[in-house]
């Protein structure tokens, strides 16, 4: 499961700490986390509820600024960016896949996938072509014209992942991406994420399911906001 592409750092967290709330409600959501994800890598994040998994995804995606430390995406520190540039950086580099997917019900699969590119000013025809490429990579090119309610859960999940890797996006951040799917469908989704990474993307996937985490090159376990252990797959 190694990629023939040059491995470049897509995400780097250095001494990343995040404190939420104040006074008695203060919580150290992340404490001194160091993590680098390079192209070709699938990294799983596990840990109990409240261990900091979702916080880790939020700071990796620039949705939540760090309290201290640095978050760098494709070599660019997020903290230095103005809000507009940060949003553009996120749209260009990072794809999110959440359990509830956030597919727009009035748009077809292809329109959903093309949407972030269009927001970024890419011409409609060009965005649609990129969407078709992404849908084909996820093996659902034939569903481009379907609306979300005309697809199965597994198919909708693939559309969300296609949107996550459309255009030049290479860093996929996923929070329980297989949450509502049966075992075999969930495994197929993880296989696709694995093969996207083998083709040069990178993914940081939060999951509570050990057998899905096992698709990763590294399994990072969080405990009380800190990295408790990292299990590397032997090659």
Partner 1 sequence: MSVRDALLALLDRRPAYGYELKADFEAATGDGWPLNIGQVYSTLQRCERDDLATAQDEADDQGRRLWTISAEGREAVAEWLETPAAPVEATRDPFSLKVLMAIETSPDRVDDLIRDQRNATMSELQALTREKASVADGDLARQLHLDRSVLLVEAQVRWLDMVEARIDAHGKATS
| Other Cβ atoms closer than 10 A to 8 | 13
Asked if 213 is part of the footprint of partner 1 (rule: CB under 8 A), the reply reads yes
**From candidates 215, 222, 225, 227, binder to partner 1 by CB under 8 A:** 215
Find the angle CA(125)-CA(122)-CA(203) to the nearest 5 degrees: 105
- DSSP code, position 193: H
Is residue 2 a contact point for partner 1 (CB under 8 A)? Answer: no
Distance, CA of 177 to chain centre:
9
Q: Give the residue from 227, 224, 231 showing the smallest Cα distance to 48.
A: 224
Burial environment of residue 106 by CB neighbours within 10 A (0 to 12, 13 to 18, 19 or more) = exposed
CA distance 198 to 77: 25
- Interface mask toward partner 1 for 8-47; x: CB under 8 A: ----------------------------------------
User: x/- binding map, residues 161-200, to partner 1, per CB under 8 A?
Assistant: ------------------------------x--x------
Pick the closer one to partner 1 by CB: 4 or 234: 234
Of 48, 80, 100, 124, the one binding partner 1 (CB under 8 A) is 48
Q: Which of 90, 137, 163, 221 binds partner 1 (CB under 8 A)?
A: 221
Residues that bind partner 1 (CB under 8 A): 1, 48, 191, 194, 209-211, 213-216, 219, 221, 228-229, 231-234
């Amino acid at each position: 499961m190694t990629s023939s592409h040059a491995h470049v750092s897509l995400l780097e967290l250095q001494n990343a700490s995040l404190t939420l709330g104040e006074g008695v409600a203060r919580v150290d959501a992340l404490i001194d986390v160091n993590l680098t994800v390079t192209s070709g890598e699938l990294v799983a994040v596990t840990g109990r509820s409240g261990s900091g998994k979702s916080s880790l995804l939020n700071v990796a995606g620039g949705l939540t600024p760090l309290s201290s430390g640095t978050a760098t995406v494709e070599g660019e520190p997020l903290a230095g960016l103005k809000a507009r540039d940060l949003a553009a950086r996120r749209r260009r580099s990072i794809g999110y896949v959440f359990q509830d997917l956030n597919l727009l019900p009035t748009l077809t699969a292809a329109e959903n996938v093309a949407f972030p590119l269009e927001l970024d000013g890419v011409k409609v025809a060009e965005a649609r072509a990129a969407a078709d490429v992404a849908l084909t990579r996820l093996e659902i090119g034939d569903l481009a014209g379907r609306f979300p309610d005309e697809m199965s859960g597994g198919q909708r999940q693939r559309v969300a992942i296609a949107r996550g890797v459309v255009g030049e996006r290479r860093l996929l951040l996923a929070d329980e991406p297989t949450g509502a799917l049966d075992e075999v469908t969930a495994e197929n989704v993880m296989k696709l994420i694995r093969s996207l990474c083998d083709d040069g993307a990178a993914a940081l996937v939060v999951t509570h399911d050990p057998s899905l985490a096992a698709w990763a090159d590294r399994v990072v376990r969080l405990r009380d906001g800190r990295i408790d252990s990292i299990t590397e797959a032997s090659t």
